[in-house]
A and B are shown apart, each in its own frame.
Chain A
Amino acid sequence: MEYHLKLPVSEKEIEKLHAGDIIYLTGKIFTARDETHQLMLKKNINNIPFNPSEMALFYCGPLMKKENNKWLVLSAGPTTSSRMEIFESKFIEKFDVKIIIGKGHMGKKTEKTLSKHKGVYVIFTGGAGALAADKVKEVLDVHWLKELGMTEAAWIFKVKEFGPLVVAIDSHRGSIFKNLKNLT
C-alpha cells in the first residue's frame, strides 16, 4: 500500500501502516545523529527549543551551505540507523516520536518500543542525498550548530512528499527484515 501523510500523524494513521508499505511525508522533520541523541537525552524536555513530537525524526548529517544569510540543503540522505539503537527506546519514550527515518537495520529494543508507543521506522534510500535534498522545501531552523557542528546539529526541515519511504518496522511488531529471513 502507498500512503501520503501529513505531519504530525495520529496514532490511527500509524496503526494503518504495515512493513513493506510505501509512504510520503509532508510537514516538519528534524535531524539527529549520535551526539544529538546524547545531548537531547541529557537535557530537560522543557529546555528543548522545538517540539519533536510534532515532527518525524531523520537520522541525517546533511551537507549544508549558507548563501545570502540563508541555509540551503545540498545533500541530505539517511545515516546508518543501527548506531542509534542504544539510545532510541529512551528517545522515543521521552520525546514521543512517531516516525523515524533512516537506513539499514534497527534492533529488537526499538521494535518493541515502536509497538508500545505506536510508531514506525521507515527507510529512505541510503546515499541518495541529492534526491532527498530536493524534497526539502525550507530550512526552518538549526539548533546546537556551534556545539555540535554541521553534521550533528539538529536541523529542522520543512519537507513536501518526502519519499518514497519503505516501512521497515511497523507498530504491530511487523518487520521487513523478519519477512526476508523467513524467505531465505
Chain B
Amino acid sequence: MENKNLVIGIVQLIKKAEVELPIDVVIALKNAYKVEKGIAKIQIENILKNIEIAKKTKRPLCQDTGLQTFFVKIGENSPYIGILKNLIIEGVKTATKEIPLRPNTVDPFTQFKDANNIGDFIPDISWDFVKGNKVEIIAIPKGAGSENMSKLKMLRPSDGIKGVKKFVIEEIKKAGGNPCPPTVIGVGIGGGADLALYLGKKALIRPVGMRHKDKKIASFEIDLIKQINKSGIGPMGLGGKTTVLDVHIEKAHRHPASLPVGLIVQCWANRRALMVIHENGRWEVK
C-alpha cells in the first residue's frame, strides 16, 4: 500500500518534469526574448507559448519525452534503500501509460521497441549514498536531439583549460541548430572517460543561472557563455544572440597522463523535477 503511494509520487515526479519547465529555465528564456529580434525572437516566442500550453493542458512539452534519467541521493538509513530501484521502474511504466510518454526504448540489436520505456539499464539511475534517512530523486528526461551532440575528448594534460575551452566552443559551433538552441551545456572535466561524461550530465541538475561555488570555475563558466553566444548561432541555429542559456562545469581529479572532457548538450527544454521522500513515506514533488 505504502509502496503504491510512492509509485504515485514517482509518476508525479516524471509528469512534473515532462509538462513544466523549472522557473530558472523559464526566466532565462524570457530574458532571451527581450534581447532577440526578428526570426530569433519568433523562435523564443514559440518556445514561451509552448511552455504555457504544456503547463495548462498537462501535456509533454516535447514529443521526445526522452530517456528516463534519474539522479538519486539516498540516506543510508532510508527504509526504501532496498526497493527504490523497483519503485522507479514501476513509476516509469505507469507514467508511460498515464501521462502518456512516447515509447522511447529500442534494443540496438533486435530493434525491438519496448512499450513501457523500460530496457537494459533503462531507466538510467545514478546513486549517491548520504547520511540520514531522506531520499531525493531528480528526474531529467533526456531528449536525443541534444544528446546526439554530446561528445567526449581525451585531451593531453598540456592542452590545459585552454584546450577545454577550444574543444567546447568548437563542438557547440559544429552542432549549430541541431540540438535545439538555446541550450544548456554540461561540462565534466577530469576522472576517466566515463566519469567526465557522468559529471557533464550531472552538471545539468544545477539550476540555470547558478554559478559553480569555486570562483575560478565560475568565471570560466561565464567566459564560455560569452564566447559561445558571440558565435551568432542563435535560437534554432537561425541566427541571434542566445546560443546557450548557461554552461555548468563539474570537475574530478584527473590521472597525471590524461585530461578527459565530457560535453553534454541539453536543449532549451531543460526538464528537471525533484521528489523528496521522508522516512515515514510522506513525499513531495517540486
A77 contact set on B, CB distance < 8 A: 62-64
A86 contact set on B, CB distance < 8 A: none
- Chain B 235-262, CB-CB to A under 8 Å as 1, else 0, gives 1111100000000000000000000000
Q: Which of A82, A151, A177 contacts B103 (CB 8 A)?
A: A151
Provide the bound-state CA to CA distance between A77 and B104, in Å.
15
Does A27 count as interface, using CB distance less than 8 angstroms? no
Least Cβ–Cβ distance between A29 and chain B, in angstroms: 14
The residue in B42, B103, B235, B238 that gathers the most chain A C-beta atoms within 10 A of its C-beta is B238
A126 contact set on B, CB distance < 8 A: 145, 177, 180, 236, 267
Contacting pair B50 A184 (CB below 8 A): no
Does B43 count as interface, using CB distance less than 8 angstroms? yes
Does B219 count as interface, using CB distance less than 8 angstroms? no
Contacting pair B50 A105 (CB below 8 A): no
Contacting pair B238 A130 (CB below 8 A): no
Provide the bound-state CA to CA distance between A131 and B46, in Å.
7
For the A-B complex, the count of residue pairs with Cβ-Cβ distances under 8 Å equals: 133
Least Cβ–Cβ distance between A107 and chain B, in angstroms: 12
Closest 6 A-B residue pairs measured CB to CB?
A126-B180, A125-B46, A128-B50, A104-B178, A75-B63, A131-B50
**Which A residues are within 8 Å of any B CB, using their own CB?**
20, 22, 60-63, 65, 74-77, 79-80, 82, 103-105, 123, 125-131, 133-134, 149-151, 164, 166, 168, 176-177, 179-180, 183-184
A to B CB contacts below 8 Å, 9 in the list: A20-B39, A63-B65, A63-B100, A75-B59, A75-B61, A75-B65, A123-B177, A128-B62, A129-B64
Contacting pair B238 A129 (CB below 8 A): no
Provide the bound-state CA to CA distance between A105 and B175, in Å.
9
Does B273 count as interface, using CB distance less than 8 angstroms? no
Q: Among residues 79 to 114 in chain B, which have CB atoms less than 8 Å away from a CB atom of chain A?
A: 100-104, 113
Contacting pair B236 A123 (CB below 8 A): yes
- Chain B 39-61, CB-CB to A under 8 Å as 1, else 0, gives 10011001101100110010111
Provide the bound-state CA to CA distance between A74 and B53, in Å.
11
Q: Which of A82, A129, A183 contacts B63 (CB 8 A)?
A: A129
Provide the bound-state CA to CA distance between A8 and B54, in Å.
31
Does B9 count as interface, using CB distance less than 8 angstroms? no
Interface of A is mostly: mixed
Q: Which of A80, A105, A125 contacts B148 (CB 8 A)?
A: A80
Least Cβ–Cβ distance between A184 and chain B, in angstroms: 5
A177 contact set on B, CB distance < 8 A: 176, 237
Contacting pair B60 A130 (CB below 8 A): yes
Provide the bound-state CA to CA distance between A133 and B46, in Å.
13
- Chain B 127-163, CB-CB to A under 8 Å as 1, else 0, gives 0000000000000000101001000000000000000
Contacting pair A164 B231 (CB below 8 A): no
Does B198 count as interface, using CB distance less than 8 angstroms? no
Provide the bound-state CA to CA distance between A184 and B240, in Å.
11
Q: Which of B46, B47, B63 contacts A164 (CB 8 A)?
A: B46
Least Cβ–Cβ distance between A163 and chain B, in angstroms: 9
Provide the bound-state CA to CA distance between A125 and B4, in Å.
39
Least Cβ–Cβ distance between A37 and chain B, in angstroms: 15
B269 contact set on A, CB distance < 8 A: 127
